[in-house]
């Protein structure tokens, strides 16, 4: 029997680089999804092809880290991570298609992992708690692909609900729904893809993680979640590490403030928090680029309530909260400014919170 499963990409509304510091984040699932079609059989391998990769690639069910690289490593990583958890999955033929832009900070990687994971669990007739699924997908990305990412992307892809953001607390790994329907208050969520990819950024990501770990160690705490801004600024000797810590700690507070603003549908206040978050990523965490700063600044000057880079940084997308009557003006101002500065024409779309991973009817 053919199994169809899909999982969405995500936008982080606020709370960047907080996941591996056991902090807070507030993401939504995107309407764009990655689809897996799987025909299990009695072979000992997966034959996988993707419309976005080359293929087909053969993945033995006994695959181990180091054996495959490139896009197929995300799929092989899930097979491997399931096996190390003691879950046996069947071989078969798998076809992948996706609507999630790759390398734009919208987490095409977690969409792929979670869709493959769901298809394999369905085939094996195993039901797993979504937090456990997120950990398996993260394990695949960390250990098989070799990307030291936190749990944000996978949790969002698995827990997404239409019209809802998710307040994630990474210390106790809890996910709480938070209503997010700006359109019903006359406010649009714009997704501006700069078209600058973040492909070269893995070294920078690892450097930020190392800074945060050093700061926590110097403060004598297990994670930055346990520290205060004042302590970080006085006790952390290295001024760069201290600024990195300040970003994480002030960002956790902005997440809570943003949840409070959304509870009263106060998109002006939420927008101001997005601006503060962008400034913190630009000045303290230093993960934005001049290109992304220009997009965010121009959007706000043209009448948006707020704008911030979303995702790990060094490229990708800016999200904007803007009153509906200013959508056109903001889009035009941003396109004009980035083109005048010599960057490519951005892709600007209106988006909303979509649903999480799940099975789709067989076609
Ligand atoms: P992001 O998650 O922000 O899109 P990553 O660098 O984390 O960026 O993941 C992108 C990588 O994930 C791609 O380079 C590719 O290897 C893999 N990938 C994601 N989606 C697909 C897909 N539909 N088909 C093949 N590979 C994919
Ligand atoms: Mg990714």
Low pLDDT (below 50) residues in the chain: 361-363
Whole-number pLDDT of residue 363: 35
Q: 63 and 10, same structural domain? A: yes
| Secondary structure class of 101 (helix, strand, coil) | coil
Q: How far is CA 314 from CA 153, 200, 203, in A?
A: 17, 8, 11
Residues 340 and 210 in one domain: yes
pLDDT tens sequence across 324-344: 999 999 999 999 999 999 999
**Is any atom of ligand 1 closer than 6 Å to the C-beta of 98?**
yes
Q: 119: domain range?
A: 3-179+354-359
Pocket test for ligand 1, best of 112, 195, 314 (most atoms within 8 A of CB): 112
Q: What is the CATH number of the domain that holds 82?
A: 3.30.230.10
Residue 140 sits in the same domain as residue 242 = no
Q: Do residues 213 and 171 share a domain?
A: no
pLDDT digits (tens, 9 = 90+) for 179-207: 999 999 999 999 999 999 876 567 898 89
Look up the pTM and report it: 0.96
Q: Which atom of ligand 1 is nearest to the CA of 96?
A: 23
Total count of domains within the chain: 2
The answer on 303 and 267 residing in a single domain is: yes
One domain, residues 206 and 333 = yes
Which ligand 1 atom is the nearest neighbour of the CA of 111? Answer: 20
Whether 263 and 299 map to the same domain: the answer is yes
Is 300 in contact with 272 (CB distance < 8 Å)?
A: no
Asked if residue 169 and residue 200 are part of one domain, the reply reads: no
How close is the Cα of 215 to the center of ligand 1, in Å?
31
Residues 315 and 337 in one domain: yes
Residues 125 and 50 in one domain: yes
Q: Measured in angstroms, how far is the CA atom of residue 184 from the centroid of ligand 2?
A: 31
The alpha carbons of the chain give a radius of gyration, in whole angstroms, of 20
Q: Examine the domain organization and report whether 227 and 136 are in the same domain.
A: no
In the residue annotation, 266 being an active-site residue is answered as no
Domain of 241: which CATH number?
A: 3.30.70.890
Looking at the fold, whether 17 and 57 belong to one and the same domain comes out as: yes
């Amino acid at each position: 029997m053919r199994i169809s499963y899909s999982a969405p990409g995500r936008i982080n509304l606020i709370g960047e680089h907080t996941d591996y510091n056991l902090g807070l984040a507030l993401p939504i699932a995107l309407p764009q999804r990655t689809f897996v079609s799987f025909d299990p059989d009695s072979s000992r391998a997966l034959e996988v092809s993707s419309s976005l990769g080359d293929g087909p690639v053969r993945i033995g069910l006994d695959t181990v880290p180091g054996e495959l690289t490139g896009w197929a490593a995300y799929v092989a990583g899930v097979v491997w991570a399931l096996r190390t958890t003691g879950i046996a999955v069947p071989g078969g033929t798998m076809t992948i298609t996706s609507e999630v832009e790759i390398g734009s900070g919208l987490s095409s990687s977690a969409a792929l992992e979670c869709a493959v994971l769901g298809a394999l669990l369905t085939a094996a007739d195993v039901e797993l708690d979504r937090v456990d699924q997120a950990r398996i997908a993260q394990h695949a990305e960390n250990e098989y692909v070799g990307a030291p990412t936190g749990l944000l992307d996978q949790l969002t892809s698995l827990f997404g609900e239409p019209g809802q953001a998710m307040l994630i607390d990474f210390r106790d790994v809890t996910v709480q729904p938070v209503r997010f329907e700006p359109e019903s208050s006359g406010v649009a969520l714009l997704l501006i893809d700069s078209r600058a990819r973040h492909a070269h950024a893995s070294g920078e990501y690892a450097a930020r993680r190392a800074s945060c770990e050093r700061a926590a160690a110097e403060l004598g705490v297990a994670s930055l979640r346990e520290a205060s801004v004042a302590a970080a600024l006085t006790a952390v000797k290295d001024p760069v590490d201290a600024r990195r810590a300040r970003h994480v700690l002030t960002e956790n507070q902005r997440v809570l403030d943003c949840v409070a603003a959304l509870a009263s549908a106060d998109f002006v206040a939420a927008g101001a928090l997005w601006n503060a978050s962008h400034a913190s990523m630009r000045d303290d965490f230093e993960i934005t680029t001049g290109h992304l700063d220009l997009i965010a600044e121009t959007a706000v000057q043209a009448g948006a309530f707020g704008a911030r880079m979303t995702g790990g940084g060094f490229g990708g997308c800016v999200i904007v909260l803007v009153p509906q009557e200013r959508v056109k003006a903001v889009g035009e101002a941003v396109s004009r400014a980035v083109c005048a500065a010599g960057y490519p024409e951005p892709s600007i779309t209106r988006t909303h919170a979509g649903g999480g991973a799940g099975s789709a009817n067989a076609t």
